[in-house]
Amino acid sequence: MAHLRSCEVRQLLHNKFVVIMGDSVQRAVYKDLVVLLQKDSLLSTSQLKAKGELTFEGDILLEGGRWGRMHNGTHYREVRQFRSAHHLLRFYFLTRVFSPYVVEVLEDLRRGQHAPDLVVINSCLWDLSRYGADFRRGYREDLGSLFGLLGRALPEPCLLVWNTAMPVAEVVSGGFLLPEHQHRGAHLRLDVMEANFYSSVEASRHGFDVLDLHFHFRHAARHRQRDGVHWDQRAHRHLSQLLLAHNCRGGSTGRAEVTRDNGPRPGPRPGRPGPRPGPRLCAPPCDLLHPLPSLALCSRPMAKAPLCLPTILYRPSNSTITIPGSRGDIMATQTRGLGRSTVWAPSAEFLSSISAEGPLRTLPSAPAGPADTSEGTPRGKAPVAISRPGSFPAQSVG
């Protein structure tokens, strides 16, 4: 995964309307994107902890927050918006995954002047701690109601990404957890994992994308704040990179894929009839061909070169030479965009040893058979390049 700079993020989200909905963790996601759209710097600790402020890095508070009474109740509201000449980001604070307020928000988005291009949503911790101990039934019913409404309220090209709740510590504290509910914090860690399973299954069943933040940050406890729930600025920058990379690929369901010819490739989404076009995303800039330095959240695994397949070389004299696959000097690796491809070629020593007999043509492996007696390349065997996909090691924030 390439780490994007501010100029590249501005190009990726050019003329896009991004909506983020959720609790205080998702508010930090919104704030980090606002900063990343303007400069290559991290959030400060005070910016992460602040809530309901009238302005933040050029955005405005539209509703709730310090325009009203600050409190930690389930009716707390906060709506923020950042707007530039070519970007629009909006954040809605949620205390429940499905409620009359959520219905009102989605109706406003449907009737609004601008249709959202990307919606990022999560609600979990408040649902598990404020609305009764039997969350298994209520939370699952609310999830079904939410995703059913989202499918009707959002426009067809809109990409919706459900963020799973990030892992919490064994001992937690926070505004969502009242003193009389402190006993629930003891098993909140396991409840979050169970709720993430329910939400990811329900989102996939309705054909929406899932970004599993619990998986990505399962070994990143050192970046968690003392309250056991919130995360530091480096973790949120890595989260933003994960979200942008998911948006760049058009999601795991193949709704759209950014290509070098500046065109999306729409694909089918499971759970919905027929193909559904994805958002029109701009092509990544040329700088993405050179990935930025990684930021480590966890130890990097040892990278192993994939095994090379056998390669058959054809001489003009129609005799064949087979090079066995290996991890040695016949493998060269090229990095392209957000992925890696491996190209196999014979070593220089081998080429020099047989160069006297004429040029070689490299073809993919084929079953052994009688050699063609005609001159040149065997009939029907056009030279092709051999390439196999690979993957980058896990990226992290140090």
* Distance (Å, whole) CA 99 – CA 200: 19
Looking at the structure, do residues 134 and 251 belong to the same domain, yes or no? yes
Tokens of 172: 């937690």
Domain end: 289, 320, 340, which one?
289
Residue 300 covered by a domain = no
Residue carrying the six token digits 């389930």: 74
Coarse DSSP helix, strand, coil percentages of the chain, rounded to the nearest 5 percent: 30, 15, 50
pLDDT of residue 130: 83
Whether residue 322 is found in the same domain as residue 200: no
- The answer on 238 and 182 residing in a single domain is yes
Residue 396 lies inside a defined structural domain of this protein = no
Nearest to 308 by CA among 295, 327, 291: 327
**Number of domains within the chain:** 2
Backbone dihedral region for residue 65 (phi beyond 0: left; psi -120 to 50: alpha; all else: beta): left
Q: Are residues 216 and 162 in the same domain?
A: yes
Residues 245 and 160 reside in one and the same domain: yes
Question: Does residue 240 fall inside a structural domain?
Answer: yes
Instruction: State which residues form the domain around 262.
Output: 6-289
CA–CA separation, 39 and 47 (whole Å): 15
The answer on 269 and 315 residing in a single domain is: no
- DSSP E strands: which ranges in the chain? 16-22, 60-64, 78-83, 87-93, 118-121, 159-163, 209-211, 267-268, 275-276, 311-314, 320-323, 331-336, 339-344, 361-363, 387-389
Residue 395 within any structural domain of the chain:
no
Do 58 and 206 share a domain, yes or no?
yes
Q: How far apart are CA 199 and CA 164, in angstroms?
A: 7
Q: Are residues 185 and 143 in the same domain?
A: yes
**Residue 171 within any structural domain of the chain:** yes
Decide if 224 is inside a domain.
yes
- Tokens 């695994």: give the residue: 301
CA angle 202, 258, 215 (to 5 degrees): 40
pLDDT score, position 156: 87
Q: Are residues 201 and 258 in the same domain?
A: yes
Q: Are residues 55 and 133 in the same domain?
A: yes
Q: Is residue 175 part of a domain?
A: yes
pLDDT for 261: 36
How many H helices and E strands in the chain? Answer: 10, 15
Structure tokens at 79: 């709506």
The pLDDT averaged over each successive group of 10 residues in the chain (398 residues) is 89 96 97 97 95 96 93 92 96 96 96 93 91 81 95 92 94 70 73 94 95 96 93 96 88 37 40 39 34 36 37 44 40 36 49 51 45 43 41 41
Name residue, tokens 């220089």.
348
Instruction: Output the six-digit token pair for 122.
Output: 């999560």
The pair of three-digit structure tokens given for residue 149, joined into one six-digit string:
């409404």
Q: Which CATH number does the domain housing residue 87 bear?
A: 3.40.50.1110
Domain termination site, one of 255, 289, 323 = 289
Return left, alpha or beta for 380; rule: phi > 0 is left, psi -120 to 50 is alpha, else beta: left
Do 335 and 230 reside in the same domain of the chain? no
In a domain, 303, yes or no: no
Kindly state whether residues 326 and 220 are assigned to the same domain. Answer: no
Distance separating alpha carbons of residues 116 and 57, to the nearest angstrom: 22
